[in-house]
A and B are shown apart, each in its own frame.
Chain A
Amino acid sequence: MRQDTSMQPEIGQTETVAGPPPYSPGTDGGISLSAVRHSYGELRTIASLDLEVEPHDVVGLVGPSGCGKSTLLELICGLREPSGGAVAVGGRRDAAERLARCAFMPQRDLLLPWYSAIDNAAIALRNQGMRRRAARAATADLFERFGLAGFEAARPAELSGGMRQRVAFLRTLVAGKPVLALDEPFAALDAITRGEMQEWLAAALRTDPRTVVVVTHDVEEALYLCDRVAVLSARPARIVGGFSAPLRRAEDRDEAVTDPGFVAAREEALRALREGSR
């Protein structure tokens, strides 16, 4: 699914606020994992895992470190094949089709230091064959919308940690894929910036809904951002519980995370995490 026609807004159109964003992906972003197993040689990383994600659902994967969360993202994205079971994205099981439907945001922002901020964000458009000027124009209004205006020409080294992370997320968004796979997107940030970035990401997903799978070790982050949080056990990973909290992706994060329902969900999820780690 490559949305070549919708990917290229006319430059005059970027002023318009109403209507869906020009890079909006289709809705074939459902993910289905059935009896998925994976091992690196002798090391079994994923036991047997079933997971269904509806289009535009935001699903969190929480688990002890080294439990195969990142491997799971790679399996979904088509960067890796499972040792057993089936992975499908938008109903398609072959790796190339999965790869075409998913955009992966790695743990560290991994902005390319030889490109400016906007060229980093627009790299998927350049890969898809768009000329540099057109790619910049198509990305410019997103910079505006996501609080990065004025930093288009900045080198990644000149940006703060939060801004780098925002550019990295935009790069994932601009690709126009129905599925976003985020691997601990805010783990490298300090607590305050992380909270701000979670609010920011929640706002971004409200205006531009996608199917999102986010791996994190932060239960609170997962419950705030995600419609559903799956808690994984220690290696070999299996799902030991599913949780969700009220007020997810609420505008006021502080209010959301202190809500009694949220706190209860967090306690339950933490208990499952502790039990699953053993």
Chain B
Amino acid sequence: MRRVLLPAAALATLIGLWQLAASTGAVAELLSLEPYLVPSPAEIARSLWENRSLLAENGWVTLQEIVFGILCAVAVGIGFAVAMHRWRAVRDASYPLIVASQTIPIVVIAPILVVWFGYGLPPKIFIIALVCFFPITIATLDGLRSVDPEAVKMMRTLDSSRWQRFWRVEAPTAFPQLFTGLKIAVVIAPIGAVFAEWAGSNAGLGHLIQADQAYFDVPRQFATVVVLSALALVLMGLTTLAERRVVRWR
């Protein structure tokens, strides 16, 4: 109960304070802004309700981008981690490149990908996968490397093939770390999705935020951010559930 009540109470307090600050016009005055640029939580909630079908439509688009992006990241991340663990040469060769891939500024590469792949799904999947595969690769590799060498020796004398050692010792050892990487990935994926959509898109939550910028529809921008956060929370919850099902021995 504490785990639900405490964050709920903290959130309620924050929203209450914000409501107070916004509805009295204190913030707008402090920043010398027009009051409509500082929406109160009540106004955001109203916008959320009035735009529910629009938000759902665009949320669905962004969700698809995120899910496909993460799936690609998982496949590539695990593949890299296993190859880097198995072959020292692969690790030495690719580790700097993988780190370097994370220094590519998304805002620079995103427009280029739009030029190459168009306004559709592929450039979004690419960008989300690019930001998400890194935590998955690094965490999985660390997990694989944490295998007890004594356990491997023991298994070698018990007639195991390399493949059996991988599935029966190394992979289960790495599972908890893999899920840690995945949890980081699902939280940064929505950010990647927004950047990808800003570079060029016809739909999606990021696209919506960008469009509302032009109309100064600040309440709807906030409402969109709420939906985006909710997506991240749901994905995080699903990942935790999957972790509990897979890593039962913890």
Interface residues of A, Cβ cutoff 8 Å to B = 2, 74, 77-79, 99-100, 102-108, 110, 112-114, 123-124, 126-128, 155, 157, 171-172, 175, 177, 181
Contacts and interface: CB of A to CB of B under 8 A. Distances in A.
A114 B157 contact: no
21 contacts: A77-B157, A78-B157, A79-B153, A79-B156, A100-B159, A103-B158, A104-B156, A108-B150, A110-B148, A110-B150, A110-B154, A112-B151, A113-B249, A114-B172, A114-B248, A114-B249, A124-B158, A127-B155, A127-B160, A157-B249, A172-B158
Contact of A102 (B148, B157, B248): B157
Nearest to A79: B153
A102 B158 CA distance: 8
A136 B50 CA distance: 61
B170 to A, nearest CB: 11
Contact of A171 (B158, B161, B164, B168): B158
Nearest to B164: A127
Interface in B182-214: none
Given A113-B249, A157-B249, A127 B161 contact: yes
Contacts of A106: 150-151, 153-154
A124 B159 contact: yes
A214 to B, nearest CB: 15
A112 B168 CA distance: 8
B169 interface: yes
Contacts of B169: 112
A127 B168 CA distance: 9
A124 B168 CA distance: 11
Nearest to A155: B249
Nearest to B148: A110
B150, B151, B154, B156 pick with most chain A CB within 10 angstroms: B154
A106 B159 CA distance: 16
Contact of A79 (B151, B157, B172): B157
Contacts of A105: 154
Contacts of B158: 103-104, 123-124, 127, 171-172, 175
Nearest first, the 7 closest Cβ-Cβ pairs linking A and B are: A124-B158, A104-B157, A113-B249, A106-B150, A127-B160, A114-B172, A127-B159
Contacts of A108: 150
A104 B153 CA distance: 8
Given A106-B153, A113-B249, A175-B158, 9 more contacts: A74-B153, A99-B157, A104-B153, A104-B156, A104-B158, A107-B150, A110-B154, A127-B158, A157-B249
Contacts of B151: 106, 110, 112
B236 to A, nearest CB: 24
Contacts of B168: 112, 123, 126-127
B249 A175 contact: no
Contacts of A155: 249
A112, A155, A171 pick with most chain B CB within 10 angstroms: A112
Interface string B26-57: 00000000000000000000000000000000
A82 B12 CA distance: 69
Contact of B159 (A2, A78, A113): A2
B157 A112 contact: no
A78, A103, A127 pick with most chain B CB within 10 angstroms: A127
Nearest to A104: B157
Contacts of B154: 104-106, 110
B249 to A, nearest CB: 4
A175 B160 contact: no
B124 to A, nearest CB: 36
A259 B169 CA distance: 45
A203 to B, nearest CB: 23
A254 B84 CA distance: 53
A171 B161 CA distance: 17
B159 A128 contact: yes
A181 B157 contact: yes
B245 to A, nearest CB: 13
Nearest to B246: A114
